[in-house]
Amino acid sequence: MPQPVALGQAPDARHIAVLSREGKGPPVIWLGGFKSDMRSTKAEALDAWAEKAGRAFLRFDYSGHGESGGAFEDGTISQWLDDSLSVIESHVTSRPILVGSSMGGWIALLVARHLLQTSPDRAPLGLILIAPAVDFTERLMWDRFPEDIKRAIEESGVYHRPSTYSPDPYPITKRLIEDGRRHLLFGAPIQTGCPVHILQGMEDPDVPWSHALQLVEHLPGDSASLTLIKDGDHRLSRPEDLERLIGAIEAISRGKQGEP
């Protein structure tokens, strides 16, 4: 059963659902995607791997996601980043490996930067980023929206965007877009202080593989590798994709970098 973590004060108080598995080695922390949850295919596969390997594994739902409290449309990058940092601060005492999927890739980079500056003893040992949607509110949403959608967001405060992953549209709020601008990473070097391995499908309709190349260009000071999967989609949840993911985690755990 998830362990609730209470965050914030009224009227912004919220409960974050956390699943924590004890084990050896650097704790592996799952950071999910936009409107995803901690029981997704990849997260469940990592939990099964962690159980078999005896590894520590931590996953949770951002506020407004999955089993956590709050409304999704009230969420922002600032809030989801705060959720992530609070869970790490309450559950992790050593340097972890962060695994970020889609939006979670952006969150992972923000978490790494924050911990590197404020808590070096908990700064990550490595990052595994799956189709990392860095700066997606600006680069992959706002910059691509036609003028009528931008106008709708400005005037009504929200645009309900159709999704191929859900029968219900995703609410894209003005607050989300504006808050995202506080956390943009592209345009300056991104310091992580650890190896970074990116897994990117070349048939991803949501995060183009050129976006992953751009991220690599922003990691000049760190050991970074990029695995392009020619027939891979956005989710990268096929058995062969999960094998690559686990291999990348094990390689960083052994202190190695590159193709798993």
Q: Judge whether 138 and 177 are in contact, CB under 8 Å.
A: yes
- Tell me the mean pLDDT in the region 161-185: 94
For residue 105, is pLDDT > 80?
yes
* Side chain identity at residue 239, one-letter code: P
For residue 94, is pLDDT > 80?
yes
For residue 218, is pLDDT > 70?
yes
Q: Per-domain residue ranges for the chain?
A: 3-135+186-253
Q: How many CB atoms lie within 10 A of CB 13?
A: 11
Q: Is residue 1 very low, low, confident or very high in pLDDT (cuts 50, 70, 90)?
A: confident
Would you state the structure tokens that stand for residue 136, as one six-digit string?
């997606």
For residue 190, is pLDDT > 90?
yes
Per DSSP, the residues of 198-250 read EEEETT-SSS-HHHHHHHHHT-TTS-EEEEEETT--SS--SHHHHHHHHHHHH
What's residue 222's pLDDT?
65
What's residue 167's pLDDT?
86
- Tell me the mean pLDDT in the region 98-108: 98
d(CA 244, CA 91): 27
Q: Which helix (H) or strand (E) holds 245?
A: helix 239-253
Nearest to 212 by CA among 110, 105, 111: 105
Radius of gyration (C-alpha) of the chain in whole angstroms: 17
What's residue 245's pLDDT?
98
Phi, psi of 13 (to 5 degrees): -65, 145
Average pLDDT value over all residues in the chain: 94
d(CA 54, CA 62): 26
d(CA 161, CA 171): 6
Name the β-bridge partners of 59: 19, 30
What's residue 6's pLDDT?
80
For residue 93, is pLDDT > 70?
yes
Q: Which helix (H) or strand (E) holds 172?
A: strand 170-173
The tens digit of pLDDT for each residue in 114-135 reads 999 999 999 999 999 999 999 9
Q: Is residue 259 very low, low, confident or very high in pLDDT (cuts 50, 70, 90)?
A: very low
Longest alpha-carbon distance in the chain: 52
d(CA 106, CA 122): 18
What's residue 258's pLDDT?
43
For residue 3, is pLDDT > 90?
no
The tens digit of pLDDT for each residue in 138-159 reads 999 999 999 999 999 999 999 9
For residue 38, is pLDDT > 70?
yes
Q: Is residue 14 very low, low, confident or very high in pLDDT (cuts 50, 70, 90)?
A: confident
Q: Residues 6 or more apart from 11 whose CB is under 8 A from it?
A: none
Domain 3-135+186-253 CATH superfamily: Alpha/Beta hydrolase fold, catalytic domain (3.40.50.1820)
Name the β-bridge partners of 31: 100
